[in-house]
Every structure is written in C-alpha cells, then in structure tokens.
C-alpha cells in the first residue's frame, strides 16, 4: 500500500472517507460506542512514523463523533516481524499470542478498524481480546481486503 510503505499518512484521510461512506450505508456508526484501531508493532510505528489503522480510526472517530480509544489494544511483543509470508494458521497462532487488551471495555460496542485484512487472524485475535475485556459487540471495518489466492486450474 503506497500510503503505508512510502510514508504518506495524509493519504489515509481520503481512504477513511471512503470507508466512512460504506459504514454509513451499513448503518454501523449507530451500532457502536467507540472506535479502536488494530495496533501496529512499535517497530513498525517507528519505521513508518505513524500507525495506518490509527490514522483511519482517528478520521472515522471524528466523522461519526465517537470516542477514539487508540490504546485499548496493544502488542505483547516488541517484535516488528511482519506476518507477510505466513499462512493463515501461522498468522492466527502469532496474532493470538501477540494481541492484548489494555483497558476494560465493559458493556461497550466496538468498531475495530484496520487498513488491510489478509486472513482475518489479527482481526479475530483483536476481537477476542476486546470481548475478553468486556466488549459486548465487536464490528470490524477495513479499507482493503487482500484477495484469497485461487486454486490453480
């Protein structure tokens, strides 16, 4: 993603506007109480200078007038090792070990925001951590979805 890897955080505002339009059509903003971004690793944030999911979540929070809780989730590891190249099962195992809730979210309905979803492993681990922290509902919103590889013919 050009905005993410080439240090253009300003491009996330129009991407968030596109996502906001889709969420409004689906009436998601009225079904949530807070916005929580999927956390990047510290290494990735330092390398990029920003957190893509947080940039999108910030804009959605502003547009929908919902509280942004950027520290509700965190990473257990400082490792910046990417999930790229891992299969779905390996991604799921790693995500489950590396994501944790940092605050209680008792009774809250959460809009979980990420820039790109590949296998859904990170979103699943984040949703579980949010539910473990007391969230009653977790709805995920992503700007892009990596295509599933097709079986060869």
Which CATH number is 2-145's, of 3.30.499.10, 1.10.630.10, 3.40.50.2020, 3.40.50.300?
A: 3.40.50.2020
- Residue 75 and residue 102 in contact, taking contact as beta carbons nearer than 8 Å: no
Q: What is the pTM assigned to this prediction?
A: 0.83
Q: How far is the C-alpha of 102 from the C-alpha of 123, rounded, in Å?
A: 16
pLDDT in tens, the chain (153 residues): 544 555 667 788 889 999 999 999 999 999 999 999 999 878 777 788 889 999 999 999 999 999 999 999 998 765 545 555 555 566 556 656 578 999 999 999 999 999 999 888 889 999 999 999 999 999 999 999 887 765 444
Q: How far is the C-alpha of 121 from the C-alpha of 137, rounded, in Å?
A: 18
- Residue 129 and residue 101 in contact, taking contact as beta carbons nearer than 8 Å: yes
The answer for 28, left when phi > 0, alpha when psi is -120 to 50, beta otherwise, is alpha
Q: How far is the C-alpha of 115 from the C-alpha of 93, rounded, in Å?
A: 21
Question: Per 3-state DSSP, what percentage of the chain is helix, strand, and coil (rounded to 5)?
Answer: 45, 20, 35
How big is the chain, counted in residues? 153
* Token couple for 60: 């959605």
Q: What is the pLDDT of residue 152?
A: 45
């Amino acid at each position: 993603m050009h905005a993410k890897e080439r240090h253009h955080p300003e491009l996330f505002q129009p991407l968030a506007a596109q996502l906001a339009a889709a969420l409004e059509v689906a009436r998601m903003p009225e079904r949530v109480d807070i916005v929580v971004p999927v956390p990047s690793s510290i290494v990735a944030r330092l390398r990029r200078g920003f957190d893509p999911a947080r940039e999108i979540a910030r804009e959605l929070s502003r547009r929908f007038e919902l509280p942004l809780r950027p520290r509700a989730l965190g990473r257990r590891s400082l490792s910046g090792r990417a999930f790229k190249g891992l299969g779905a099962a390996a991604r799921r195992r790693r995500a489950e070990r590396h994501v944790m809730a940092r605050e209680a979210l008792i009774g809250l309905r959460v809009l979980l925001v990420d820039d790109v979803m590949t296998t859904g492993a990170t979103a699943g681990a984040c949703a579980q951590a949010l539910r473990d922290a007391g969230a009653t509902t977790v709805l995920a919103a992503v700007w892009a979805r990596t295509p599933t590889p097709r079986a060869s013919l």
